[in-house]
Chain A
Amino acid sequence: MSEQGAQSIPLAERLAERLNPVLVRELHQGVRSRAFIVALGLVLLANALAAVLIAANLSEMRPGEPFLHALTTLISALVLVVPVRALFAMVREVEPGLSEQLLLTRLRPRRIVHGQLLAAAFHIFALTGLFAPLLALTYLLRGVDVVAIVLGLGLAAGLALALAGGALALGSLARVRALAPLARALGLFGVFSGAGVATPLILEGLGDLVQWYASDPEEFRNALLGMLGALVLGLWLCELVATAMLSHPFENRSTGFRVHAWAVAAAAFGFVLAAVPQRFLDEALPAAGAVACALAAPVWLIAATEEESFSPRVRRHVPPSRLLAALAAVFLPGGGRGLLWVLCSAALLLAGGLGLPPLLAGTPADPAVAVVLAMVLLYGVLYAAVGRVVRGRMRPGLRASWLARALLLGIALLGSLLPLLLDAIVGGGIERWHPGHILDPVWTLVELRRIRRAHDPVLILGVLAALAVLAAAPSMRRGLAESWHAAAARRGRARPAPAAPAAAR
């Protein structure tokens, strides 16, 4: 390259430097690929076909119907093309040779995933742009207002982005070579089933949504905020899954999930407070806590069944300050610390579900819903503590952690099925719930209102959970001590070496 050539960098190149490198690479690859040419041809053909069909049947159409047809074509293209491309791009990204090359650069796994998400967003933008003339034409035919257009396009883009996020998360499972075919199959199934369910809902519900907007803008705004919040939290979770798959097992893959679970809880309470009338808060707040717990249950169980000790890399990143190390401990990887985080989460959800109603609504939480919340939390704590005890008896390693999770699932299934089997064999039939079925969360929660008259499942479950937590207490203590020592070691390293005595100089 001549020196002169090197001196002048084109504007496009300078702009590209400011973007995520993975996004730039995806665009270069996209433009050169055969799939791009085919997709572009198909989209233009769909555009032309839709225009011809609309023009041919225009006289028979109701006002606004041409726009709906154009939107149908656009949504179909968006929800299929974008997520499928994202799925295969991620499967390719995590191929052993390629992902390792990238991880040796300054790109961190999260940035790689962001690059893929941005590529999906750009793809949505480009496809919408290709459909813009058709949409503009149908708008000019009247019968549709700007709100319907913005809502239709927003929902289509949101759905495509959500499906692309899911596809990226599922595609990242291919990092484990044995799971690669499953990742592709699950990804395609997820995209097609998600698109198949959500597309008709959007198209059929668009008219109702516009009416809702006209009749009660405030309620509509709350619903929209809820959807937007769910999209953001969903995309965040997908990003965490894909980032965890791209990261090495000895990196910190736990903190993000734990923060996310708390964010979900905060969002659930926040949404209830913003959208639910005050008179229903006594029921809605405990219910929100129970839903947040149920959603976070997989994270609770995974956190408690992690390997107990820090990897050398994570140990290096424990905050050196005593106070910060103590505060951060529950968010750091390690099963003992994970169980402590579970206990903190349960306490916060309980406080939110039972403590907020008297504070904000002036009435205590509805007893029936409060019991459900308590039961859901106790089940979470019980199984997490049992998982900790099981994992503690196994050797170190990622494989053992997954084995412990499988065993925990087995224990839960056995705890549910064995009493049923005993009832059938010994008791002559499965007739009604009794305390032997306490390990079966589904039946216990379904029957809760009825069985409370005879027994107190909260008390039984509380005792069981307390015993399990006691059994796992040494692991939690070791987890805290390890964080404490790692922080002390970092402080020791950071401290300057003492000055040599004058005589020795």
Chain B
Amino acid sequence: MSAPLLEVDGLSKSFDGVRAVDGLSFALERGRITAFIGPNGAGKTTTMRIAATLEIPDRGDVRIEGISVLEEPQQARLRLGFMADQFVPYADLDVEQYLQFFAHAYGLRGLARRRTVASVIEFCGLGDMLRRPTTGLSKGMGQRLHLAKTLLHDPPLLLLDEPAAGLDPRARIELRELLRELAAAGKGVLISSHILAELSEIADALVLIEAGRLVLAGTTAEAQRAVREHHLIRMRVLEDNRRAERWLLTQPQVREVKVLDEVHLQFDFTGDERAMAELLRRAVEAGLGVVSFATEEADLEEVFMRTTRGVLQ
């Protein structure tokens, strides 16, 4: 069995006596976008910097494809791409020179270097910007260039620290698309962001930390199940929502029925999916005129709010 793409194992780190990360452990799989969330000061950036070999933990280790970042940082660096929260460009270099320089620094030579640079330029949509000075790029274009640089050595793991911060809606959507393509290509992505609605749309899994400790880790479905012990169901009927409300209140495992408007109702259902299907069948047979019947998934914001306490380090 191959080693996990990223394995964080009992990580602890303190700064001036303040514990930034406290016994954190989690793993990340290939081909998945994992949202790394937590309140400000939760230890997200510290964890990412340790994983990127830029900090050393007081205890614990991080392994990338089984390679310890503590013991073999050089080997680990070949397997990771780290995009820090801030893009710092070089003065007096244009976009192409910038990428050529980093390709050279990553040891790419000859045709391989040219092809790689050309492909990341195309992938990140930088084709029209090649002669632009790197210091003259917009925030969105700067982040694209930053991502392009991060992809040059084709790392299987991407650590992205707040990549969408400061981007306009179009740039965010474009970045999201790029990340989806990268995950589809088999790369594992650990992405931290404060914009949870954004992450909700692309993340397959999440790691939630608070005060340096793990609160929740797993797929988004597992997280949703963890925060809700029941299903929240939204139902639309043709007419007579009051009758539908009265009927629902008589049904087993149904609680807290709310009439949202003339045709929409929402209620908690504590049964499993088979019981849910049975409830739908009975509702149809009762002639309620059911137009739609769907579970409402908990989004990351709800997961975040229900699981964190706002503890700051």
Which residues of A pack against B, CB within 8 Å? 1, 6-7, 9, 14, 16-17, 21, 24-25, 28-30, 32-33, 92, 95-98, 100-107, 248, 250, 311-313, 315-316
B114/A9 in contact, CB under 8 A:
yes
Min CB gap B304→A, angstroms: 29
**Chain A residue at minimal CB-CB distance from B81:** A104
The 21 listed contacts between A and B (C-beta, < 8 Å) are A1-B114, A9-B111, A14-B110, A16-B104, A17-B113, A25-B93, A25-B97, A28-B97, A32-B92, A33-B91, A97-B88, A98-B90, A101-B102, A104-B53, A105-B77, A106-B74, A106-B105, A248-B56, A250-B56, A312-B56, A316-B71
Q: Chain A residues near B153: list those with CB within 8 A.
A: 105
B88/A6 in contact, CB under 8 A:
no
A316/B72 in contact, CB under 8 A:
yes
Q: Chain B residues near A7: list those with CB within 8 A.
A: 111
Q: Chain A residues near B68: list those with CB within 8 A.
A: 312
Q: Chain A residues near B86: list those with CB within 8 A.
A: 97
At the interface, yes or no: B115 with Cβ under 8 Å from chain A?
yes
Given A104-B82, A313-B73, A316-B71, decide whether A21 and B105 contact each other with a Cβ distance below 8 A: yes
What 10 A-B pairs have minimum CB-CB distances, sorted nearest first? A97-B88, A105-B105, A1-B118, A312-B70, A32-B92, A21-B104, A29-B92, A316-B71, A33-B92, A250-B56
Given A21-B101, A100-B84, decide whether A311 and B56 contact each other with a Cβ distance below 8 A: yes
Main secondary structure of the interface of A (DSSP, over half): helix
Given A6-B118, A9-B110, A17-B110, decide whether A28 and B71 contact each other with a Cβ distance below 8 A: no
Produce 1/0 per residue, B55-75, CB < 8 A to A.
010000000000010111110
Q: Chain A residues near B56: list those with CB within 8 A.
A: 248, 250, 311-313
B87/A97 in contact, CB under 8 A:
yes
A102/B104 in contact, CB under 8 A:
no
Q: Considering the complex, which residues of chain B in the window 93-118 have a beta carbon less than 8 Å from any beta carbon of chain A?
A: 93-94, 97, 101-102, 104-107, 109-111, 113-115, 118
At the interface, yes or no: B290 with Cβ under 8 Å from chain A?
no
Q: Considering the complex, which residues of chain B in the window 156-212 have a beta carbon less than 8 Å from any beta carbon of chain A?
A: none
B88/A98 in contact, CB under 8 A:
yes
At the interface, yes or no: B149 with Cβ under 8 Å from chain A?
yes
Which one of B54, B71, B105 contacts A312 once the chains associate, using CB atoms below 8 Å?
A: B71
At the interface, yes or no: B52 with Cβ under 8 Å from chain A?
yes
B115/A32 in contact, CB under 8 A:
no
B71/A313 in contact, CB under 8 A:
yes
Min CB gap A108→B, angstroms: 8
**Chain B residue at minimal CB-CB distance from A100:** B54
Q: Beyond the given A17-B109, A98-B88, A104-B52, please list 17 additional residue pairs across the A-B interface where CB-CB is below 8 A.
A: A6-B114, A17-B110, A21-B104, A28-B97, A29-B92, A92-B91, A95-B88, A97-B86, A97-B87, A97-B88, A100-B84, A101-B88, A104-B82, A105-B105, A106-B78, A106-B107, A248-B54
Q: Chain B residues near A24: list those with CB within 8 A.
A: 101, 104
